[in-house]
Structure 1
Amino acid sequence: MTTLFVFVIGIAIGSFLNVLIDRLPKGEAITGRSHCDYCRKKILWYDLIPVFSFLILHGKTRCCNKKLSFQYPLVEIITGISFTFIIVIPNEVRNLATEGGVKLFDYALLDPSGIALRMTMLGIVSCLIIIFFSDLRYHLISDYILLALFIFSLPAVALAKEGPLLSILFNSLASGLIVALPIFLLYYLSRERAMGLGDVYLSAIIGFILGWKSGYIALYIAFVTGAIYGISLLLLKNRKLKSRIAFGPFLVIGLVTMLFWADKIYGLIDMIYKY
């Protein structure tokens, strides 16, 4: 029952994340009733039920029968699963990758720091979902969401790493700058054709959260997955060589991979070096 409740809360929050994904890149206010993107009519409340309304309407708008983006139920389901994964199945969400994969969460039920870290992780994951889909769809990462991601990462890093607080923050900030440097050089030398400024900021936050070693591995994962995606599009003839591909989603993939599976990635690296 707890699992179902958390999942329902998650998909409801996912519905709000969809609002942010669609409105922030357009500069629209996030308050006010939802409206149809095609005819601008107000959407009735019973057509806003997460996931179910999309299924009932067969993926089309009620007012003008236009096709809805599959993004809407996908974001809601991913958010619901993520919230369930973090809150109900805590043993699976145990590593914040720093230099060697330090445990992020202490999940004793009455442990205040464990509860605080769960909440910060929910915030981090929500921001990453927004960044992934907004950059994928609009090629834009909102500065507000990047700032929110950085704010959520502050307590996560402070609680997860041992040592004096000022030392932790200084080392994390330095790591952020180190990881962001190659992305900034690509941004600067290509005159924004290869990278956007949002990618620079996001890579800095990745370094801040992960540390510079794991941060560079996250960048490597981002470049590899991005290259695979780009080559696939070229082979399918859906893109030209000059077509722009959003890099933010792949940075998110790299960060999430190192957040949850850093120990496995380091184990794989050790195994490769042994051979």
Structure 2
Amino acid sequence: MLFLSFLFGASVASFITSCCYRLGNNHSLTIPQRSYCDNCHCILRWWHLIPIFSFIILRGQCFYCKQKINLYLPVIEFLSGIAFTTFLIYEPIHDLIILLFLTSLIFLTSTDFFSHVIYSYSLLGLFPITLLSIPQNYFYNLIFACILVVSLLLFATFTKTLGIGDIEFLFITCLIWGWYQSLLIIQWSSLIMLFIFVFTRKKKLPFIPALSLVTILCLFIQGC
């Protein structure tokens, strides 16, 4: 069952990232119906599309044109497989909420990674997790969330390092879990981004992937 959960999670991530890539590049979600290489546009065969394993078999490159496959794809598939294996407990309501939460995070992460765009409506998929979380005083959470948003907006105005989507994401996390966990998410996500910046030297990096990863780790520690 663990393997099936892992494969299911990796497959879900593979499908969502494919859709997000098309959205980010203004490609049709339905034409062509089958996956294709974005470099040579050749239609991929079924064995080119097995999550993680195809990346290994193909040695990280397209079967046809030898273009390197983005390392993000096997990484998000692997992490999603681990997350699904960890959180799914085969109870319908619990697993439905977890599925909605994780797919929302994968979607948010992928759209930010591919196009630096956050679709605000996808944040709604995070809210049902409150049914599984430790009870919160949501009135105080709302106050702290508003204070956090104002602080982050001021920070973003002067530093140009945060996008509105990042702030919206943190507003939701503060609303769900409160100020303490939100500050932990910001702290550890920032450390991850600093580490990535040191190695890549890229000035523009997607922040949502780091926020999502730390959010899942917090969820694991909390025990949902």
Residue 116 of structure 1: how far off its partner (Å): 2.1
- Letter matched to residue 216 of structure 1: L
Who is 1:156 aligned against? 129
- Letter matched to residue 62 of structure 1: F
Q: Describe the superposition over 1:23-61 as per-residue Cα deviations: whole angstroms up to 9, x where unpaired.
A: 232233333321211012222333222223223322221
Q: 3-state SS of the aligned residue for 1:24?
A: helix
Q: Percent identity?
A: 24
Judging changes above 3 Å, is the alpha-carbon distance between structure 1 residues 251 and 72 closer, same or farther for their aligned structure 2 residues?
Answer: closer
Residue 87 of structure 1: how far off its partner (Å): 1.4
Q: Which runs of 5+ in 2 are unaligned?
A: none
Residue 223 of structure 1: how far off its partner (Å): 2.5
Who is 1:16 aligned against? 15
Who is 2:95 aligned against? 118
Q: Is the 8 A contact 1:25 1:142 kept in 2?
A: no
Who is 2:117 aligned against? 141
The answer to whether structure 1 residue 209 and structure 2 residue 176 are counterparts is: yes
Q: Is the 8 A contact 2:52 2:77 kept in 1?
A: yes
- What is the TM-score with the length of structure 2 in the denominator? 0.82
Judging changes above 3 Å, is the alpha-carbon distance between structure 1 residues 179 and 84 closer, same or farther for their aligned structure 2 residues?
Answer: same
Separation in 2 of the partners of 1:197 and 1:51? 32
Q: Which runs of 5+ in 1 are unaligned?
A: 89-108, 264-275
Q: 3-state SS of the aligned residue for 1:129?
A: helix
Who is 1:85 aligned against? 86
Separation in 2 of the partners of 1:229 and 1:51? 22
- Letter matched to residue 147 of structure 1: Y
Residue 12 of structure 1: how far off its partner (Å): 1.7
Judging changes above 3 Å, is the alpha-carbon distance between structure 1 residues 245 and 207 closer, same or farther for their aligned structure 2 residues?
Answer: same
Task: Find the structure with the greater CA-based Rg.
Answer: 1
Residue 161 of structure 1: how far off its partner (Å): 5.3
The answer to whether structure 1 residue 239 and structure 2 residue 216 are counterparts is: no
Who is 1:95 aligned against? none
Matches within 5 A, 1:52-71: 52-71=53-72
- What is the TM-score with the length of structure 1 in the denominator? 0.68
Q: Is the 8 A contact 1:210 1:259 kept in 2?
A: no
Q: Describe the superposition over 1:147-199 as per-residue Cα deviations: whole angstroms up to 9, x where unpaired.
A: 22x32232221454558xxx74x555444333333222222334xx2111111
